[in-house]
Each structure stands twice: as structure tokens, then as C-alpha cells.
């Protein structure tokens, strides 16, 4: 039976491996030490909330939420920045279960909601987001200004 729960420091080794796999999915070079350091800092500094899917002491996937704030609505909102399921656990409802945990968490914190973005060609993820009631925002544009430093 699959269990969805908040990640703890005890999960760091397996979670780092999943996070490294997630980064490789987005064409980044493997960097297990960097992945571990990134996740560990987020956890130690309470800068994100990470949910993991676990079955028989093995992590199958994770989602990571970062806090943000809406000045207009005077509310917190959550950025669902990362969602990843190990290749061996796909098509088993893991991603959907993680998304439900994220929604429940957002509601429990009385936030405005969850925002996310995905690549235009990530059709499988888009189908899940549509199924779960996420609304595609076509009235706004997203811009990005890369840092000139490193």
C-alpha cells in the first residue's frame, strides 16, 4: 500500500536520488551531491514543503511546494515547483496521490491556492492537471529574466 507523507531528514538519501532523476528528466547533468545539498537546505531552513510517496520503505516520487504571497488577495499561495515519479512507479496513481496531498496541504494552510507551470509539450502532466481541476491561465504571460551572475 502506498503512503503519502511529508518528507523528513531520514528521507534525504532516497529523496536526493529522486531529485537527481527529476533534474535529469529536464536535461540537467547528474549531480547527486548538489541534489542532496539543495534538498537538505530547503528542509533545514523550512523553505519548502516536500511530500513523498512511499511503498515498503521505498520512495516512489515526490512533489515540492514553495511558499509565495499574493499582495492583491492578501494571502499565501503555494508554487508546485517539482513533481516527479520514478520510472518504475509511473501509471500507478503516484502523481495523482501526490497532487491530492499538495491540494490538501494548501487548503489546510488557508492559502489562495496552488500555481504551477509545465512545459508546453508535457502532455501527460497537463492531462493530470486538467483532470484535477487546475485551470490553464491564458489571460497572463510569464516572463523570465536570467541572472547575469553565475
Distance CA 31, CA 144 (A): 25
Q: What is the pLDDT of residues 104-147, one digit of tens each?
A: 999 999 999 999 998 888 888 889 888 988 988 888 888 888 88
Instruction: Output the tens digit of pLDDT for each of the chain's 150 residues.
Output: 899 999 999 999 999 999 999 999 999 999 999 999 999 999 999 999 999 999 999 999 999 999 999 999 999 999 999 999 999 999 999 999 999 999 999 999 999 999 999 888 888 888 988 898 898 888 888 888 888 876
Pairing of strands 75-85, 58-70: antiparallel
- The burial of 136, by beta-carbon neighbours within 10 Å (0-12 exposed, 13-18 middle, 19 or more buried), is given as exposed
Instruction: Give, in order, the Cα–Cα distances in Å from 97 to each of 57, 68, 85, 109.
Output: 17, 23, 11, 19
Q: Is 138 left (phi over 0), alpha (psi -120 to 50) or beta?
A: alpha
Distance CA 106, CA 127 (A): 21
Report pTM: 0.91
Distance CA 2, CA 88 (A): 14
The single-letter DSSP state of residue 123 is H
Residue where the block lists cell 513523498:
52
Domain 3-131 sits in CATH 3.40.220.10: no
Amino acid at each position: 500500500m502506498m503512503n503519502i507523507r511529508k518528507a523528513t531528514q531520514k528521507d534525504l538519501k532516497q529523496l536526493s536520488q529522486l531529485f537527481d532523476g527529476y533534474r535529469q528528466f529536464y536535461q540537467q547533468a547528474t549531480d547527486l551531491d548538489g541534489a542532496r545539498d539543495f534538498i537538505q537546505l530547503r528542509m533545514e531552513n523550512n523553505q519548502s514543503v516536500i511530500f513523498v510517496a512511499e511503498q515498503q520503505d521505498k520512495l516512489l516520487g515526490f512533489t515540492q511546494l514553495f511558499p509565495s504571497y499574493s499582495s492583491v488577495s492578501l494571502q499565501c499561495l503555494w508554487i508546485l515547483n517539482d513533481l516527479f515519479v520514478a520510472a518504475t512507479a509511473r501509471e500507478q496513481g503516484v502523481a495523482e496521490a501526490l497532487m491530492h496531498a499538495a491540494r490538501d496541504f494548501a487548503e489546510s494552510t488557508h492559502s489562495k491556492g496552488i500555481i504551477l507551470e509545465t512545459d508546453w509539450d508535457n502532455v501527460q502532466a497537463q492531462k493530470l492537471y486538467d483532470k484535477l481541476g487546475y485551470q490553464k491561465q491564458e489571460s497572463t504571460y510569464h516572463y523570465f529574466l536570467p541572472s547575469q551572475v553565475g
